[in-house]
Amino acid sequence: SSVILDADGYIFITDNANHRLIGSGPNGFRCIAACSGSYGSSSSQLYFPHVMRFDNGTTTVTTMATVTSMNNTQLVSLTTAVPEISSTTASYLNPISYNIPKFTAYTTWSSNGITFADATVVGSYPYGVFVDNNNTVYVCEYSLNRVQVWREGSSNPTRTVSGTLNNPYTVFVTSNGDIYVDNGYTNSRVDKWALNTTSSTVAMNVKYICGGLFVDINNNLYCSPINYHQVNTKSLNSNSNMWTIAAGTGCAGSTSNTLHDPRGIFVDTDLNLYVADYTNNRVQKFLSQQVNGITLAGTGATGTISLNGPCGIVLDADGYVFISEYLNNRIVGSGPNGFRCLAGCSTVAGSASNQLHNPTTLSFDSYGNMFVADNYNSRIQKFYITSNIYSTTINQPNLCPSTTWYTNAITFANSSTAGTNVWGVFVGIDNTVYIANQQTNKIAVWFEGSINPDKILSGSLSTPFDLFVTPLDDIYVDNGYNNRRVDKFSFNSNISTSVMTVPNACTGIFVDISNNLYCSAYTSHQVVKKWLNDNVLTSTIVAGTGTAGSTATTLNEPIGIFVDAQVNLYVADCLNNRIQMFSVGQFTGITIAGASAPGTITLYYPYGIILDGNGYLFIADGYNHRIVGSGPYGFRCLFGCTTISGSAPSQLYYPAILRFDSYGNIFVADRNNNRVQKFILASNSCSLSYNQPTFCYNAIWYSNASTFAPSTTIGTLPYGIFINGINTVYVPNRVSNTIISWPQGSSTSTTNSYSNLNNSYSLFISMTGDIYIDNGYSYGRIDQYTFNTSNRVTVMNVNGSCFGLFIDINNNLYCSLKNLHQVVKLLLNNGTTIPTIAAGNGSAGSLSNMLNSPQGIYVDSNLNLYIADSANNRIQFIQTGQLDGMTIVGNGSSANIILNYPTGIVLDANGYLFVVDSYNHRIVASSYYGFRCIVGCSGGGSSASQLSFPQSMAFDSYGNIYVTDRNNSRQYRPPPLLLLRAAAAVAQLALLLLPPAVLQVVAVLQVPLPPPPPIPPVVLLLLPVPQVALPLAVLLVLRPVPQVVLPPVPQVVLRPVPQVVLPPVPQAAVLQVALLLRPPLAVVLLLPPLQVQQQVAAAQQVVLLRAAVAPQVAPPLPLVLQQVAAVPQVVLLPRPPVAVPLRAVAAL
């Protein structure tokens, strides 16, 4: 819309509809202002610029431009150099000559670099690269003793600077074209080539090679001499070549005023000095004129990033730091969300396009592309910027295969704030919650942590369905039901504007990473979109033909939509009962779930759909009143799994839209219940296939349990049980030689038959879902069955049955050979099936290197081995790499607790022990205050609060305990999940929030009261459950663990009965008979609800980061011993009166 010329006749144009300014020069045209491609009112944007003029600046570098922007109705002053840094350069002696682009928190670069110049051009080991603000590239060619120059757009060097250089490392070019080059290797100086000259002058004397060179805005030259542990500076306005110290003392050190082999340096416009402190693995910032540095990143800067050999450093327009890591072979950068890796993120040195090998320096061009000196690969790599808007527009947490949520939700918003028939809910990346209220035609906004709405937006909405909020906080709302459009509320605006016309109501809205707005027009049977960077309101069809149908190109009332980072479109094709995926640019969909997608899941009118960070689907299955999700193990039901509609915390009634927050909690628009439900994340461990809940020291469980599975299902004398991270229960049936499994929440089991499986005592499920099962009784081996197949591989040969199996975090498989008195192990997939001894010498004994009938085993994250040494009545602790054990509980330990034939052992997330004390008919646990009995504390028996020779136990993700109660020939199941949630123990977050005094009220379990009269189950459902949905992973439910190691069962175990361990002979005889005739028992112990609920309510979120702390399972040995041995509270205390009603309420 306007054009002007500069003094050299170059053209400058106001590119009106592109909302930018462009200019020409000796190297052609380039964008000079507002180059993001999107219009706006920020300082870096224009909106239909109309006219521009130059002012009377004295140089072309400091020249200003004034632009009339029609839609912004303002005059905008633009510096041609760096508008983000300052509105004027008049006070700078040396205007900025390098590029400091402005990025967003979501800017991304291509992971594959292109080679800008290779060894044939730049020689071996190029160290320094510099790009000026004309996009001219300068490279220090170490082995060729020269600097080569490329003008923008040139594929070959256009100039060579040589002379008397010897192994130059770094280069810096000022705004007037002067080139400063390190020449310190043998000549101990920095040389200067003035603009268009062919000879150099000495600019500064230095001690040695300058690992970094910089000229600040006051014309001061800086050099960081390698190996001299300081940064030197001198004024270029002085005739002296001598320098002063700007940072460091000259002596290597790691204090705030010292450096150790500094490399790259950068000085901002406030004259603050940034130093890549190479050997200290940190980046230091020295405020102007200060000698003590502040650690910005690396060692000593908690919560930033670990660095290994930081070498180069630059800043962007907002002052965020970008670092080349020489020894980590990568480039990292900071931003509003902290540090992240940008290039070479495998940290593995290599020469592939996505790898680096000892990168040294980096520099940006004006477009934000990154140039890197890839030193050891002898090349200069260029990483193109791919997006400067956002890499994701919605929360997509990285969820593990075993992630679980509490099945009882909390009501985030009811009809008073969300209105009736709530549909649209959105959670921003800052966890702000937005709800479209169809009753009031307004948008209610809750900031993170708020209970009541913080803001209400109105506008001219009419029955809004869905809404979407971008990372820039622009709100896009459906207004199509009556007005046939989508409206936008700009950030902090209370006024909406129309941005897209639509055929009818949008039941789904989405904005992708390329700033395209999508609408699922359900009654038109299509999905439409438009690009938000132009002012055209009309939309185009991207899926569906406009006619209802079930072919690959048609849709039938599409509802929820989602667009991934590859711009593939996912559609909940409601009346076709399927999920369709349309690849970018394609109109033919692929069915990925539901009807005509065998092996997935059956859907009934799916409404909402989202993807997690790994691309797995989560679906609001509307008419099934449930939420389902996929993962590496296939689909599973998460909430509302009875498929019966209802208003209980565990039920849904036509769920519509669902969203994640950044922690992984799930928000669901529960339409016919007129509420928004929040399902709290319970656990998200990616390193363990089993559950390790976190408990408070005084966590308690219900003393009465319920049957989980009868002997008709699991057979007589079951030994092994395993519960994986998604709470699937596995039990080997030793009668039918099958494996029985129950998905979470299901009372219906699945039987998996395998050939040549006989009398299995134990099993273990890996992170990939593979089943490892004992098959030593007849075949002398451990078998592996690949997930969801009957494909068998023998992974270990053994000389008997494995009474315990375990796989540690390093993929070592352990087997406890009870009858051989030892534990053996094998590294899986190492080419052999022959194990080595991990503990025990093969002879029964009680010495530190011996075992006597070991059964349960456990290996912590430090690879320490815990063994239930049954006939020695002790728990042995064997440090990694050792064969001599240490007794931490039972005979020979300082712990004031007596064990009688312990058969099972597990650890919680804090490394505390839970022991199945079989012949004492109880479960005991350690804590900070020592050991206590938690289950079966009144002696053996057959009541719901008693055990009789329990064999083993396992946790589910909520903290419920499953126990096999052998000699009662019964198994118990947990009470309703509503009660389980309410009774949850307190997780890590709650532990920090709750006062100890409150916790102690319910701490004592040791003296059980007589069981009260049973209460009808209905009472359980009437318990107040305001805290039900809290993220506490502490519910301990003794789930029926198939009866495990029966005490003395000579007929089955084929071993002599150890007289010293067995109970009185009359009892033993009866027990053996009962074992053969009665079904096994597993008990589910639950926490009393009322008092514990008050504690549970204190924790509002199970934060993802906390939930994943499983690796902290085992503290160092001294701490473990302290935990186990310290028993100041071992003395039994009378139960406080408050526990009486708890026991009464627990009756089922």
177-194 per-position pLDDT tens digit:
999 999 999 999 999 999
Q: Which pair of tokens denotes residue 923?
A: 């479960």
pLDDT, tens digit, 9 for 90 and up, residues 375-425: 999 999 999 987 666 667 899 999 988 899 999 999 999 999 999 999 999
Q: What is the pLDDT of residue 903?
A: 96
Choice between 598 and 794, residue whose per-residue pLDDT is larger: 794
d(CA 98, CA 109): 19
User: What is the pLDDT at residue 606?
Assistant: 98
Residue 756 has a CB neighbour count (10 Å cut-off) of 11
**pLDDT of 468-495, one tens digit each?**
999 888 999 999 999 999 999 988 888 8
What residue type is 410 in one-letter code?
I
Mean pLDDT value across residues 981-995: 27
* pLDDT-derived band at 970, boundaries 50, 70, 90: low
Task: Supply φ then ψ for residue 236, to 5 degrees.
Answer: -75, -5
Predicted confidence at residue 28, as pLDDT, reads: 67
Structure confidence at residue 683 (pLDDT): 84
pLDDT for 1036 beyond 70: no
| pTM assigned to the model | 0.53
In angstroms, what CA-CA distances link 922 with 703, 904, 1031?
11, 11, 29
Q: What is the pLDDT of residue 514?
A: 79
Q: Average pLDDT, stretch 699-718? A: 85
Place of tokens 């000095």: 273
955-965: per-residue pLDDT in tens? 998 899 999 88
DSSP strands (E only) in 471-533: 475-479, 485-489, 496-501, 506-511, 516-521, 526-531
Residues 758, 774: Cα–Cα separation, whole Å: 9
Give CA angle at 1104 (642, 686), nearest 5°: 80
Residue 944 has pLDDT above 90, yes or no: no
- Sheet of 74-79: strand order equals 49-54, 64-69, 74-79
Indicate if the pLDDT at residue 954 is higher than 80: yes
Domains annotated for the chain, with CATH where assigned, are 2-79 (2.40.10), 108-387 (2.120.10.30), 404-679 (2.120.10.30), 711-1125 (2.120.10.30)
Report CA torsion sign: 897, 903, 908, 910: positive
Distance of alpha carbon 163 from alpha carbon 183, whole angstroms: 11
* Least trusted range by pLDDT, from 530-539, 552-561, 1009-1018: 1009-1018
Tokens 């190029």 sit on residue? 126
Calpha distance 182→169 (Å, rounded): 6
- Rounded CA gap, 947 and 1083, in Å? 8
Question: Over the chain, what is the mean pLDDT?
Answer: 82
Check: CB of residue 950 under 8 Å from CB of residue 939. Answer: no
Kind plus residue range of the DSSP H or E element containing 1084: strand 1081-1085
CA–CA dist 281, 269 (Å, integer): 25
Q: Give percent of the chain above pLDDT 70.
A: 80
Q: What was the pLDDT predicted at 86?
A: 29
pLDDT at 101 over 80: yes
Q: For Cα atoms 515, 520, 521, give the angle at the middle one, nearest 5 degrees.
A: 130
pLDDT for the residue 1078? 36
Q: Indicate the range of 216-220, 759-763, 995-999, 1052-1056 predicted with least confidence.
A: 995-999
- What is the Rg, in whole angstroms, of the alpha carbon atoms belonging to the chain? 35
* Residue (of 210, 211, 290, 214) closest to 257 by Cα position: 290
Selection from 17-26, 219-228, 234-243 with the highest mean pLDDT: 219-228
What is the per-residue pLDDT for 969? 56
- 174 versus 1062: the higher-pLDDT residue is 174
**Amino acid in position 491:** F
Distance between CA atoms of residues 479 and 485, nearest Å: 5
> Taking a C-beta distance cutoff of 8 angstroms, is the pair 572, 558 a contact?
yes
Residue 729 binned pLDDT confidence (cut-offs 50, 70, 90): very high
For position 390, what pLDDT does the model report? 66
What letter would DSSP give residue 888?
E
In terms of residues, how long is the chain? 1148
**Which of the two residues, 77 and 735, has the higher pLDDT score?**
735
Lowest mean pLDDT among 218-232, 461-475, 695-709, 964-978: 964-978
Q: Which residues, 6+ apart, have CB-to-CB distance to 444 below 8 Å?
A: 413, 417, 418, 434, 435, 437, 453, 455, 456
Over 70: is that where the pLDDT of 1070 sits? no
pLDDT per residue as tens digits for the range 572-590:
999 999 999 999 889 999 9
DSSP readout, 1089-1122?
HHHHHHHHTT-----HHHHT-GGGGS--HHHHHH
Q: What mean pLDDT comes out for the span 154-172?
A: 93
Structural contact between residues 179 and 165, judged by C-beta atoms closer than 8 angstroms: no
CB-based contacts of 1011, cutoff 8 Å, min separation 6:
703, 704, 943, 944, 945, 1143, 1147
The CA-CA-CA angle for residues 410, 413, 418, to 5°, reads 150
Q: Are 332 and 318 in contact (CB under 8 A)?
A: no
Comparing CA positions, the residue from 175, 247, 275, 276 lying closest to residue 217 is 175
pLDDT at 334 over 60: yes
Identify the pLDDT of residue 359: 98
For 1062-1093, letters b (16+ CB in 10 Å) and e give bbeeebbeebbebbeebbbbbbbbbbbbebbb
- Please state, as a whole number, how many other Cβ atoms lie within 10 Å of the Cβ of residue 402: 27
Distance CA 742, CA 1041 (A): 12
The residue behind tokens 């009339």 is 68
Q: What local confidence, expressed as pLDDT, does residue 872 receive?
A: 97
Judge contact between 890 and 900, C-beta under 8 A. Answer: no
- Per-residue pLDDT of 254-307, as tens digits, reads 999 999 999 999 999 999 999 999 999 999 999 999 999 999 999 999 889 999
pLDDT of amino acid 56: 64
In the chain, % helix, strand, coil (3-state, to 5) comes to: 10, 35, 55
